[in-house]
Amino acid sequence: MTMLYHGPEARGAIWADIFARRLPDVPFRRWSEDAIDAPAVRFLAAWNPAPEFVAQFPNLEVLFCVGAGVDQLPLADLPPKVRVVRMIEPGISVAMAEYVATACLALHRDLPHFVAEQRADRWSYAAPRLATERRVGVMGLGELGQASLRLLRPLGFRLSGWSRSAHAIDGVECFAGAEALDAFLAQADILVCLLPLTSATRGILCRQTFEKMPRGAALVNAGRGAHLVAEDLLAALESGQLRAAMLDVTDPEPLPQGHAFYSHPAIFLTPHVAAETRPETAGEVLADNVARILAGQVPVGEVDRARGY
């Protein structure tokens, strides 16, 4: 009954110490070690293991993703018996909420415009607005979306949320399902995408979506790069349908040299740094989930493989 870890050695060392303290009866092994007993591996923690790597472990029961998203995992190649659990830990949620709040405030106060004007040696005035005069719409109401909304609420923004399934969140006007998407978009002055990447959400940030938003709206994408159709964003910024965007994810990553996003005056670009797994807190969460499974309980963050999240 072994937990095998595949990933950076520094994180593995921290997690090995946590398992030695918390679950001494569950051997913790790192993929770089010699003589791994493959049949003994029941749990695997990894980011993007190759299908042939996973196939080495005939008794694998649970694949733990070390990040919040699972779109990079070879779900279609996993045996049906293998359960998949994504990482839900405080460090990721807090960091994402901070990034979203930073992005919304930057776009609300027109920082892309003022930075562009500064670089052009211009002292340009634009009338400021209060947060109460703008509505932020968050796409994706999982752990990250709800954490972001909690941090945004005290700032005074009017808040909306949209997801596939219905939610009730204090202080947030919630929309659910494809039939409610147009109404949600129609009032989103700042649209934040935190959706999981699935076949249904790939390319959702596109011309049709932007045209349904208020003219002069802004975009934050901290979900996945493949949510966004790059050419449609550039066209929306050129036409004035959108006035600015802050992007933490792109497709591909990194962007090639010379890509239009790098130099566009209305785009703030960050290199996928909005949130990352914190080794100490994530190790505790991983140990908690293994303990839950051994006790016959449902782990936190278990993925519905049919839906992809």
Q: Return the active site residues.
A: 224, 272
Which H/E stretch holds residue 230? helix 230-239
Tell me the sheet residues that pair with 172: 169
Secondary structure (3-state) at 91: helix
Instruction: Please choose, from the candidates 178, 295, 214, 224, the residue with its C-alpha nearest in 3D space to the C-alpha of residue 69.
Output: 224
Asked whether the beta carbons of 204 and 195 are under 8 A apart, the reply is yes
Do you find a cis peptide bond into 252, omega within 30 degrees of 0?
Answer: yes
Burial class (CB in 10 A: 0-12, 13-18, 19+), 251: middle
Q: Which residues contact 206 (CB under 8 A, 6 or more apart)?
A: 228, 229, 232
Burial class (CB in 10 A: 0-12, 13-18, 19+), 231: exposed
Q: For residue 28, what are its two tokens?
A: 């913790």
Backbone angles phi, psi at 33, to 5 degrees: -75, 155
What DSSP designation does 136 have? E
Q: At what angle do helices 9-22 and 279-294 cross, to 10 degrees?
A: 50
Strand 158-163 versus strand 135-139 pairing type: parallel
Secondary structure (3-state) at 162: strand
